[in-house]
C-alpha cells in the first residue's frame, strides 16, 4: 500500500516508522530543509524536500497512485490546503491532523471526514488517568459509544453474588474474568470474589456509575 505523509515532525515521523514496520510503501514530504535532512537520515523511505500544497510536487511523488494521503504538520492551514488539493487526484483516503479542535468543522465542510487531533486525544487520555485510576482501557468501540475496561471488583455489596445477579445491565456487561492469569468466560451461576479482575464492556458516559457498582 502506498502512503504519502506530509510533515516530518514527531507525529509524521512516528507514523511513518510504524507504517514502514508494517511493510507499507511510504513517501514523506517536509518543507523545512534541515528537518527534512534529519528525517531522511533516520527513515527507511523516500523523503522529499518541498511543499505538500504544490500540485507539481504531489504529481512528482505519484499522488494518483497513493491509497492514503495523511497531512500531519503542526499547521492546520497547511494541512487543510493540502487535503483540498489532494481531493482532485481521487486519493481514496485523506486524513488530516488538526491541532485546534475549533478547526475540525472547516475540514469536514470541504469533505475531509477523517480528522485526527493528537492534542485532544492526549487530553482525553489524561482525563481518563485522573478519573479512572483503577481501570485500564483495552479498547474503544464504534464512534466511542462503548469501551472495554479491565477493572477489579472490590465492592463488598456484590461479593458472593452470582454473576447473573450483577451483569448485564443497561450500562455494562462483564465479558471475562481472570483466574491465575487465564481468561475465563463468567458463567451465570458463578460467584463473584473480592479482588476478582474482570473485563467490562461499558456504555459511554456511565463509567463512574459502573465503577461505583463494582469497586466502591
Alpha carbon distance 14, 9 (integer Å): 8
**What does the block give as the cell for 85?**
488539493
CB-CB neighbours of 183 under 10 Å: 11
* H runs (alpha helix) in 43-141: 55-60, 76-87, 104-109, 118-131
pLDDT score at 115: 86
pLDDT of residue 208: 85
Report pLDDT for 134: 53
3-state helix, strand, coil in the chain (%, to 5): 35, 30, 35
pLDDT tens-digit profile, the chain (216 residues): 999 999 999 899 999 999 999 999 999 999 999 999 999 999 999 999 999 999 999 999 999 999 999 999 999 999 999 999 999 999 999 999 998 888 888 888 888 878 887 666 656 555 555 555 555 555 666 566 788 888 899 999 999 999 999 999 999 999 999 988 788 999 999 999 999 999 999 988 888 899 889 987
Question: 147, 170, 157: which is closest to 214 by C-alpha?
Answer: 157
Give all domains of the chain, ordered by start, each with its CATH number. 2-120 (3.40.50.720), 129-215 (3.30.70.1450)
Q: In the prediction, which pLDDT does 56 show? A: 95
Amino acid at each position: 500500500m502506498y502512503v504519502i505523509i506530509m510533515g516530518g515532525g514527531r507525529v509524521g515521523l512516528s507514523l511513518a516508522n510504524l507504517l514502514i514496520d508494517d511493510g507499507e510503501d511510504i513517501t514523506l514530504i517536509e518543507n523545512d530543509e534541515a528537518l527534512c535532512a534529519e528525517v531522511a537520515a533516520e527513515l527507511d523511505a523516500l523523503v522529499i524536500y518541498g511543499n505538500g500544497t504544490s500540485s507539481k510536487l504531489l504529481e512528482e511523488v505519484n499522488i494518483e497512485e497513493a491509497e492514503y494521503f495523511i497531512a500531519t504538520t503542526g499547521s492546520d492551514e497547511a494541512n487543510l490546503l493540502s487535503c483540498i488539493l489532494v481531493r482532485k487526484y481521487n486519493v481514496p483516503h485523506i486524513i488530516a491532523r488538526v491541532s485546534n479542535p475549533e478547526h475540525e468543522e472547516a475540514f469536514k465542510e470541504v469533505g475531509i471526514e477523517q480528522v485526527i487531533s493528537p492534542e485532544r486525544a492526549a487530553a482525553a487520555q489524561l482525563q481518563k488517568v485522573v478519573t479512572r485510576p483503577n481501570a485500564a482501557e483495552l479498547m474503544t468501540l464504534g464512534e466511542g459509544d462503548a469501551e472495554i475496561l479491565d477493572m477489579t471488583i472490590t465492592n463488598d455489596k456484590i461479593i458472593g453474588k452470582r454473576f447473573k445477579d450483577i451483569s448485564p445491565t443497561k450500562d455494562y456487561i462483564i465479558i471475562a474474568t481472570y483466574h491465575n492469569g487465564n481468561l475465563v468466560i463468567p458463567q451465570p451461576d458463578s460467584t463473584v470474589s473480592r479482588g476478582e479482575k474482570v473485563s467490562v464492556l461499558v456504555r459511554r458516559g456511565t463509567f463512574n456509575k459502573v465503577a461505583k457498582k463494582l469497586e466502591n
